[in-house]
Amino acid sequence: MKYLRLRAIALSGLMGALVSYQTLAEPATFDAPLKVAMPIMDDDPDNGIEHPLVEYVRYWGETNNLDIEIQRLPFKRSIRHAESGLADFHFPLLKSPEIDERVLPFDYSTTRITTVNFVTYTRDGEPLDLSRPEDFRIATLAGHAKLFPFLVNEEHSIEGSLMKLKSGRIDAYIFADSGGDPALIEAGLTGIHRELYRTYDVHAVLPKGGKGGEIDQLLTRIMAGIVPAELPLAWQPQPYVDWQVHDDEIPRVVQK
């Protein structure tokens, strides 16, 4: 059930636009096998069930005649593979304006691959005052705390965090709508308010000094062929919709 939900909404790292079914006017070419590091996500690759983002990258190869080798690794190790050159790039990673890119041990790709909406979940009638974040207990999913300019605790379960929010053990949970919204609906929680925190760009991670290089140019050419409107709904980048749990109609992409 959880995997089916992921296929429908395409989560960070979870979640976004895939390559168009059209062939690029200028095919992206690369002589050697393209080594792509991707994090282990909520799928079952040993049994042929892959996360939509993995299918996304494989499709790049199919539509551009590229030989792509995907390495599935724990998230931090996946990024380190890109940093060290053991992979040509890691995908995906959010790009935060709160982070000084000059001090990072890697480069972001020039081209944006997709976007993801981060939503602040709070209890009805108890809004989060971000002018005083120190007065609140705020949580996010593990690995995302550096996205915020204030203290945020990292937790390992989206549904568990939303349950803690409902019970009053935390005051706010901030995470991608593509992960938080389906968990909210599936858990049947009420009395939870949604509000957009920020829409982040999602990029690939290149070895330091790789921006503008061969791999970066290859990614730019691939993404130039994307026509999001022609893709299945689940693969299209989704604009933020300010729906609430008590609304009569919930966006179709969330229901799935």
Per-residue pLDDT of 30-45, as tens digits, reads 667 999 999 888 777 8
Nearest to 34 by CA among 201, 206, 212: 206
Supply 169's token pair: 């053990």
pLDDT tens track for 180-208: 998 999 999 999 999 999 999 999 999 99
pLDDT of 9 strictly over 70: no
Going through 185-234 in order, the beta strands assigned E by DSSP cover 192-207
Half-sphere exposure of 248 (CA within 13 A, CB side): 0
CATH topology of domain 116-198+240-255: D-Maltodextrin-Binding Protein; domain 2 (3.40.190)
Name which residue leads in pLDDT, 5 or 55: 55
How far is Cα 173 from Cα 41, in angstroms, rounded to an integer?
20
CATH 3.40.190.10 domain range(s) in the chain: 2-115+202-235, 116-198+240-255
Of the candidate CATH numbers 3.40.190.10, 3.30.230.10, 3.30.70.270, 1.20.1250.20, the domain formed by 2-115+202-235 belongs to: 3.40.190.10
State mean pLDDT over 216-239.
Answer: 81
CB of 215 within 8 A of CB of 206?
Answer: yes
- pTM score of the predicted model: 0.80
Amino acid at 137: R
How far is Cα 115 from Cα 89, in angstroms, rounded to an integer?
18
Q: In the predicted model, what is the mean pLDDT of the chain?
A: 84
At CA 10, angle to CA 172 and CA 121, rounded to 5?
A: 10
